[in-house]
Amino acid sequence: MSSVVSNVRPPLVTGSKTYHQITEDICSPTEQLPGKGWVLCLLCTLGLLGFGTLAVFFTIWFGIGTWNLNRTIGWGWDITNFVWWVGIGHAGTLISAILLIFRQKWRTGVNRAAEAMTIFAVICAAFFPGIHMGRMWMAFFVFPYPNTRGPLWVNFNSPLLWDVFAISTYFTVSLLFWYTGLVPDFATIRDRAKGFRKRIYNFLSMGWTGSAKHWQRWESLSLVLAGLATPLVLSVHTIVSFDFATSVIPGWHTTIFPPYFVAGAIFSGFAMVQTLMLITRVILKLEDYITVEHIESMNKVIVLTGSIVGVAYLTELFVAWYSGYIYEQYAFYNRAMGPYWWSYAAMMTCNVISPQFFWFRKIRRSIVWTFVLSIVVNIGMWFERFVIIATTLAKDYIPSNWSYYSPSWVEIGLYLFTFGLFGTLYLIFMRVAPVVACAEIKAILKSSGDQYCGPAFAEKTGKINSGLHHDDHGSHEVLHSETVQSDLASSDKSTLAETADDTDVLTEEKNVEDFKEDINFDDGKNDEE
Amino acid sequence: MKRVLNKKVLFGLYDDEEILKDAVKQINKEEAEIMDVYSPFPVHGLDPLLGLTESRLHIAGFMYGITGTTLAFGFMTWVFTCDWSIIFGGKPYFSVPAFIPITFEFTVLMAAVGMVVTFYLVCGLGFGVENPCLDNRITDDKFCIAFDVTHSSQEEVEALSVLLERTSAGEVHTKDI
């Protein structure tokens, strides 16, 4: 819990929650039978999974000849989908790690679900290079283990192998980070559960007690993991971009790729978080925890990263022209004007134009706009990868090789398979784990709950002050951000105690006074973090 | 695996972390020895009051990380300069820049996995571990101060109960764990 309590920043937890209410709201979805909506969603995702499984078997049985890849276009939907899913995964780590380091409290509302999304998205991503190997049961060949072939080691100089290390590290670290955060919340569910459920959550919560020393270590661990995950998340998509950037293909070997890919990944990741959270908050009735403030904050990230992506597209075009290198120039001409012009147009419209709507506050705070645009952005980001991969390969150095590619039903089936897998995993996650980080929300309640902060609180406090102590504090009608804190600090404690009494958290006058002293006017001494 | 500590514990439950911190301050003044404090979320500012020293997990993390760096870089160097040298694209066997990505990833992997494992080991947590629970509401909305009264006399226990009540504990109980 931070000592900084803002009286002007809008609250992140609304509905004047008490600690117990937070537990109830967040844990109760795991304790009830699922609703019709959930079952319907699950049936849909299982349907996709079923159809996708057919495509998987088809691929494995007949080989990747069932795909429409050809000698010129060796990477099609498979690698497009791989990069797309990896990109989507990035928002989770960004929210949980980078925003933790930047002390963005709004992360607490969405970090759990976003991290889960990361893990499921990385599973979906890893599926594609796996199945592209043809004999995916030989996938362990990519790891450097002592083998009977020499031992012949893998090529440590290859960006594809770097990718193996990057993705597997990313998955492992994200999983550990996510699970460590879940342990205290599983303990909360455990202590509310009975019978068989209690035994399950007892197992999952690893014997968590909430001891002060454990919390101290837990926080230390979270912080260092966040510190590790921050460069990691940047490195992962950098390395994915190396898959292209270290090649000799015009349109791929550009130095701008790493930052451009990372920005694009965060862009699409946040869009996917929006899509999921907007549905989740309604189904699980979490509107008090995932507020419009959260949605707006994420939309700000989307407009920022979307603009970076837009600038990157234009830079690419400029550099291709400026390089004077005809193959590079032709690659970009081909992207925009060639047979795949429609995918380039879709990419430009969805990724460059659509996020610009978020400059308008009204649109940023509109649920419908956000939902629609978040889907548009993800369509655009899929097209970006398709443009980079398939359209670039389609016209290589030798015109007699030039080719065209559209996916077979098997390739479409594999993409649907990952949708089914992702959806099923996410739906199960929604039922068995707290979708919002319960303990972390409690920890920010005193600094971000609507009964403690925000313009409404400032106004309320001001009114009480001016009403009761008009002689001393006559200027409370208008509260400016700079003056609120000092006004409150100088006002009578008993006045403030009344405000605190409204929250029903405290009963004793003495404690109320101390509480105010510690919470609102803490000089930061107590705040270790 | 249910853990039995063979202890008798006297504990008070508080409704708010600020009351809890005041209570700890007051108990410290009266020099009673607190066994442990339990809370539903990390309470900042509590550690110095309880005399808890800073966690050394990050030091362990650094050690694991540096081990990962050495292992990854050393292994790739060994493979490409001693064990099985292959020329890739005319580049030198010992091509340091190409080793950087994997070295970095492995550093992060070792540091993260090592730290998490260490965390669970030193905390005595793990799948299947069942630690004694003083009250089910401690993971919900109650803050608990516990005293070990296994070897205390009846008078001492009563004195501690009074102390807990005086520091605004909502409830005071004893439990064998």
When pLDDT is averaged across residues B6-30 and rounded to a whole number, the result is 90
The 10s digit of each residue's pLDDT in B80-108 is: 999 888 888 888 899 899 999 999 999 99
Q: Which residues of A touch B138 (CB under 8 A)?
A: 191, 209-210
Confidence class for position A477, pLDDT limits 50, 70, 90: very low
Instruction: Give the contacts of B172 (CB within 8 A, at least 6 positions apart).
Output: B10, B11, B12, B13, B161, B164, B165
Q: Which of A319-333, A444-458, B16-30, B54-68 has the lowest mean pLDDT?
A: A444-458
Q: Which of A177, A224, A232 lies closest to B57 in CB terms?
A: A224
Per-residue pLDDT at A166 exceeds 90: yes
When pLDDT is averaged across residues B52-65 and rounded to a whole number, the result is 93
> Which domain, by its residues, includes A506?
449-519
> Does the beta carbon of A19 lie under 8 angstroms from any beta carbon of chain B?
yes
Which comes out higher in pLDDT, residue A19 or A518?
A19
The 10s digit of each residue's pLDDT in A58-112 is: 999 999 899 999 889 999 999 999 999 999 998 888 888 888 888 888 888 889 9
**Domain for residue A8, yes or no?**
no
Per-residue pLDDT at A467 exceeds 80: no
Confidence class for position A481, pLDDT limits 50, 70, 90: very low
The 10s digit of each residue's pLDDT in A14-57 is: 888 889 999 999 998 889 888 888 999 999 999 999 999 999 99
Per-residue pLDDT at A511 exceeds 90: no
Q: How many domains does chain B have?
A: 2
Q: How far is B146 from B92, CA to CA, in rounded Å?
A: 64
Q: What is the ipTM of this complex?
A: 0.95
Check residue A7 and give its pLDDT. Answer: 65
> Which of B2, B11, B13, B16 best probes binding to A when mutated, by most A CB atoms within 10 angstroms?
B16
Confidence class for position A11, pLDDT limits 50, 70, 90: confident
Per-residue pLDDT at A215 exceeds 70: yes
> Which domain, by its residues, includes B140?
8-52+127-176
pLDDT over 70, % of chain B: 99
| Rounded to 5°, angle at Cα B101 from A170 and A377 | 50
The conformation of residue B10, written as its DSSP 8-state character, comes to: E
**Domain for residue B169, yes or no?**
yes
What does A117-184 look like in DSSP terms, one character per residue?
Answer: HHHHHHHHHHHHHHHHTSSGGGGGGGS----SSSSPPP-TT-HHHHHHHHHHHHHHHHHHHHHHHHHH
pLDDT over 90, % of chain B: 55
B61 and B112 part of one domain: yes
A458 and A353 part of one domain: no
pLDDT over 70, % of chain A: 85
Q: Which of A446, A462, A492 is the last residue of a domain?
A: A446
pTM: 0.87
B37 and B77 part of one domain: no
Q: Would you call A519 and B15 a contact, using CB atoms and an 8 Å cutoff?
A: no
The 10s digit of each residue's pLDDT in A383-434 is: 999 999 999 999 988 889 999 999 999 999 999 999 999 999 999 999 999 9
Which comes out higher in pLDDT, residue A163 or A478?
A163
Q: What is the rounded radius of gyration, in angstroms, for the C-alpha atoms of chain B? A: 25
Q: Which of B75, B108, B136 lies closest to A232 in CB terms?
A: B108
> Does the beta carbon of A527 lie under 8 angstroms from any beta carbon of chain B?
yes
B63 and B103 part of one domain: yes
Q: Which of A20-34, A348-362, A478-492 has the lowest mean pLDDT?
A: A478-492
Confidence class for position A515, pLDDT limits 50, 70, 90: very low
A232 and A352 part of one domain: yes
Q: Dihedrals φ, ψ of A281, to 5°?
A: -65, -30
Check residue B109 and give its pLDDT. Answer: 96
Q: Would you call A220 and B55 a contact, using CB atoms and an 8 Å cutoff?
A: yes
Q: How far is A487 from A473, CA to CA, in rounded Å?
A: 8
Give the residue among B89, B177, B123 at the shortest CA–CA distance from A157. B89
When pLDDT is averaged across residues A181-205 and rounded to a whole number, the result is 93
Check residue A148 and give its pLDDT. Answer: 86
B152 and B117 part of one domain: no
**Domain for residue A350, yes or no?**
yes
Q: Between residues 168 and 207 of chain A, which touch chain B (CB distance below 8 Å)? A: 168-169, 172-173, 176-177, 180, 183-184, 187-188, 190-192, 202-204, 206-207
A476 and A436 part of one domain: no
When pLDDT is averaged across residues B112-124 and rounded to a whole number, the result is 95
CATH of the domain at B132: 3.30.70
Confidence class for position A5, pLDDT limits 50, 70, 90: low
> Which of A96, A122, A225 best probes binding to B when mutated, by most B CB atoms within 10 angstroms?
A225
Check residue A47 and give its pLDDT. Answer: 97
Q: How many domains does chain A have?
A: 2
Q: Would you call B139 and A184 a contact, using CB atoms and an 8 Å cutoff?
A: yes
When pLDDT is averaged across residues A217-224 and rounded to a whole number, the result is 93
Which comes out higher in pLDDT, residue A380 or A451?
A380
When pLDDT is averaged across residues A491-507 and rounded to a whole number, the result is 41
**Domain for residue A206, yes or no?**
yes
When pLDDT is averaged across residues A251-272 and rounded to a whole number, the result is 92
Per-residue pLDDT at A510 exceeds 60: no
| Rounded to 5°, angle at Cα B51 from B46 and B56 | 90
B152 to chain A, minimum CA–CA distance in Å?
A: 22
A350 and A368 part of one domain: yes
Q: Which of A370-379, A392-401, A443-452, B9-18 has the lowest mean pLDDT?
A: A443-452
Q: Which of B99, B133, B141 lies closest to A19 in CB terms?
A: B141
Check residue A366 and give its pLDDT. Answer: 93
A442 and A515 part of one domain: no
A336 and A480 part of one domain: no
What does A246-278 look like in DSSP terms, one character per residue?
Answer: TS--TTT--TTHHHHHHHHHHHHHHHHHHHHHH
Q: Which residues of B touch A151 (CB under 8 A)?
A: 83-84
The 10s digit of each residue's pLDDT in A290-299 is: 999 999 999 9
**Domain for residue A9, yes or no?**
no
Instruction: Give the contacts of B6 (CB within 8 A, at least 6 positions apart).
Output: B150
For chain A, give the mean pLDDT. Answer: 84
**Domain for residue B3, yes or no?**
no
Which comes out higher in pLDDT, residue A73 or A507?
A73
A459 and A438 part of one domain: no
Confidence class for position B3, pLDDT limits 50, 70, 90: confident
Residue written as token pair 């192998």: A161
Q: Which of A92-101, A264-273, A363-372, A418-427 has the lowest mean pLDDT?
A: A92-101
